[in-house]
Amino acid sequence: MHTLALMETFTVVVESGSFTAAAEKLKLSKSFVSKQVSLLEQDLGTRLLHRTTRTLSLSDEGSQFYRHCQRIMKEAELARAEILDSQNAPRGKIRMTIPQSLIISGFSQLLIAFQRQYSDIDLDVIASGRVENLIEEGIDLAIRVGQLEDSSLVSRRLGECRFQVVASPSYLQAWGEPTHPSDLMKHNCLLYGDSKSSRGWQFRKPDGEALTVKVTGKLTSNDGNLIVEGMRQGLGIGFGPSFLFKDHIDSGELCPLLGDYCQPPSSISALYPLNRTLPRRVRILIEYLAAHLALE
């Protein structure tokens, strides 16, 4: 008999606690179920179960093999469910986390357009820039910008952005335009994000050498709306991902500065757990975002 079928029978026996209960669940005879487990043991060349007239227990090898069986049976069921699901319209909930800076940019319009197109998919969107434990917090998908460090996550690149220095024409008229990153230390810099990590603005000299400038300012916030509004009203100079400022630069409300010192583009990535089968609805969302961000 096929090994996968023998593994399934073995798994049911372990989880049922007896050959009798497993036989009832599988709608097979007790002797046939017992023979299947014996065949599996013969094939593996080891005893998986210790049998007495009253008890059934796993050997050390049986415990190890059972863990593998659990994972394989789960994957097989997920594969079956995925094929069945592919024959119907995608449905269900996607719990995802996105930096607030993306939420307040045009990215939010992509999510709204996606939900209009796939009305049977529910989106539970958490605006957060911290690195969550996706499995523990029940999150299907995380969208992140910049360097990725967690090797336990699968990464799919969706697009890219640059980190820019920007200010309003009114601020530049009143306080002058910086011509080198070090000039920023003389300006009121509006700090977006954590007050500690946001004070070191990263640049790259024309020769490729990295440069960090420690800036100061009178306004710090993790609310991108507040920082952008402060820049629009001439309060100070800001630094952040290009998608946060794009519309305001296009309208002339903000001006990009120090373009010769910008870092190379950073990736916008979709992250999901390494050892989890990705539901079809999540794959569809990732493909949708990748297609639309590539056009921008």
In the chain, the domains with their CATH numbers are 3-86 (1.10.10.10), 92-158+266-294 (3.40.190.10), 163-261 (3.40.190.290)
Single out the residue of 147, 161, 143, 144 nearest to residue 262, CA to CA.
161
Confidence of residue 261 (pLDDT cuts 50, 70, 90): very high
149-152-155 Cα angle (round to 5) = 65
Instruction: Please say if the pLDDT value at position 243 is more than 90.
Output: no
Residue identified by tokens 């050390």 is 60
Instruction: Please say if the pLDDT value at position 128 is more than 80.
Output: no
Confidence of residue 145 (pLDDT cuts 50, 70, 90): confident
Confidence of residue 257 (pLDDT cuts 50, 70, 90): very high
Both tokens of 153, joined, read 């996550």
DSSP secondary structure letters along 181-233: GGGGGGS-EEEES-TTGGGEEEEE-TTS-EEEEE---S-EES-HHHHHHHHHT
Residue 166 CA neighbour count, 13 Å, CB half: 29
- Contacting residues for 136 by C-beta, under 8 A, at least 6 apart: none
The secondary structure element, H or E, covering residue 98 is strand 92-98
Q: What's the length of the chain?
A: 296
pLDDT at 183: 95
Specify the amino acid at residue 118: Y
pLDDT at 274: 74
pLDDT at 3: 83
What does the pLDDT average to over 131-159?
77
- In this prediction the pTM is 0.61
Confidence of residue 114 (pLDDT cuts 50, 70, 90): very high
Higher-pLDDT residue of 193, 174: 174
pLDDT at 276: 64
Residue identified by tokens 């957060």 is 128
Torsions phi, psi for 140 (to 5 deg): -80, -30
Higher-pLDDT residue of 148, 11: 11
What does the pLDDT average to over 25-36?
91
Average pLDDT of the chain to the nearest whole number: 86
Lowest mean pLDDT among 89-98, 139-148, 250-259: 139-148
> To the nearest 10°, the Cα dihedral for 157, 162, 168, 173?
180
For residue 209, count other CB atoms closer than 10 A to its CB: 8
Contact 121, 90 (CB under 8 A): yes
Confidence of residue 148 (pLDDT cuts 50, 70, 90): low
pLDDT at 197: 53
pLDDT at 275: 63
pLDDT at 196: 55
